Amino acid sequence: MVDSTSIIQKDEAFGAHNYHPLPVVIATAEGVRLTDPEGRKYMDFLSAYSAVNQGHRHKKIIDALKNQADRCTLTSRAFHNDIMGEFLEKLCDYTGFEMALPMNTGAEAVETALKLARRWGAEVKGVENGKQEIIVCEENFHGRTIAIISFSTDPDARVNYGPYATGFKIIPYDNTEALSGAINENTVAFLVEPIQGEAGVFVPGDGYLKEVRRICTEKNVLFIADEIQTGFCRTGKKFAVDHDDVRPDVMTLGKALGGGVFPVSAVVADKAIMGLFTPGTHGSTFGGNPLGAAVGIAALEVLEEEKLAERSDRLGAFLREKLSRIDCPRIKEIRGKGLLNAVVFDDGFEAWDVCLALRDKGLLAKQTHGNIIRFAPPLVITEDELNEAIGIIQTVFESIPAATIA
């Protein structure tokens, strides 16, 4: 049997070192449970950054993948296939938008939305081509393409990748005055995460998105919500924008749209906006492929049939309440919505060793920004499993020594 150590060594010998994964190897997975090559068992509390909302290897989604693989896997967009239309209709019905454009990865969805906004600016708003501006937020995470990292404020994401793409203006998150002040005659869109996931599950103040909607409408600017990590029931609603009861002009979608088994992403908008794309102006060989379409339909049906939004809302509130009772003086804040949550430790605290301790007790989570640990289990987690996980977290957190005073 190949052991975890040799697997990790092979990864490091032959793979680019562009990630720093927790030293654990996953060999099998089902639901919330993971197993390594040696048979050690773990609970997944990251969900592949919310790509596994429906749980690992959900039977309905796996069956859809297998059945479609026996029929047709790829046609490209040079021809129609017999399932993409059904998928797009389902996605439009689920999101409430009139049209969808299928892609593969979240970054592709964001790139698509950026192109759509620029085209809308030139053809509808009347901005001179080349002068379109898109406003984004500090600490954003929208992907890792050249265009996207050009407006990142993460030094690691940007280092030595110049020259950087222009046409972007960066403002503070959760600050509508800054948004209003940044808009000018060339502004075509505001791209924002309803909750900033990579920034450490930073939840904006109540009414933030409602005011964003008002400003964008008033100033004729597209409101683009990046729901790639926060969408599909993760935060206790279908989409995180639903907490403020607002409707963006465009949404970018991905991760859980592929049910944890296949890369599927999309952009949704109404015809007045999406209709600006014409043949040859945008595309993807694999976008809308039959495998992805079949998986996407099943992924959406699982969200609805198992009422995962309601489940996420209820269990997320329970998790935060239990975390708030843990006796750990290094905890500074507990925040989140639904089952997208974070424990924030003191500034300067290094949470890596805490994640290792959680792993050793059978729970896998990952830190971000050094002092923050995200807790985002699959939405199919049971109450018994959640209580089991809380017990592990409490044991580890209460063993963290208090800060030493110099």
Token pair recorded at residue 2:
């190949």
What is the Cα–Cα distance from 24 to 365, expressed in whole angstroms? 11
Q: Which residue has the tokens 């909607």?
A: 213
Q: Which one from 226, 238, 249, 375 is the annotated catalytic residue?
A: 226
Residue 254 · residue 280 · CB < 8 Å: no
CA dist., res. 307 & res. 303, Å (int): 6
DSSP letter string, 87-117: HHHHHHHHHT-SEEEEESSHHHHHHHHHHHH
Sequence-separated (6 or more) residues with CB below 8 Å from residue 270: 97, 98, 99, 249
Q: Which of 38, 157, 102, 36 is nearest to 287 (CA)?
A: 102
CB 208 within 8 A of CB 180: no
Known catalytic membership, residue 255 = yes
Taking the C-alpha atoms of residue 69 and residue 54, their distance in angstroms, rounded to an integer, is: 20
Give φ, ψ of 13 to 5 degrees: -75, -40
Choose among 116, 268, 126, 240: nearest CA to 189: 116
**From the candidates 87, 141, 239, 349, which is the catalytic residue?**
141
Cα-to-chain-centroid distance, residue 386: 22
Question: How many CB atoms within 10 Å of residue 36?
Answer: 17
Q: Determine the Cα–Cα distance for residues 294 and 87; give it in Å rounded to an integer.
A: 7
Nearest CA-CA partner of 291 in 86, 125, 64, 116? 64
Q: Which residue has the tokens 């976008």?
A: 287
Nearest Cα to 366, choosing from 380, 353, 378, 385? 353
Catalytic residue among 255, 262, 313, 337: 255
Element (H or E) spanning 176, and its range?
Answer: helix 176-182
Cβ-proximal residues to 358 (8 Å cutoff; 6+ apart), any chain? 45, 364, 365, 392, 393, 396
Q: Is 223 a catalytic residue?
A: no
Residues annotated as part of the active site: 141, 226, 255
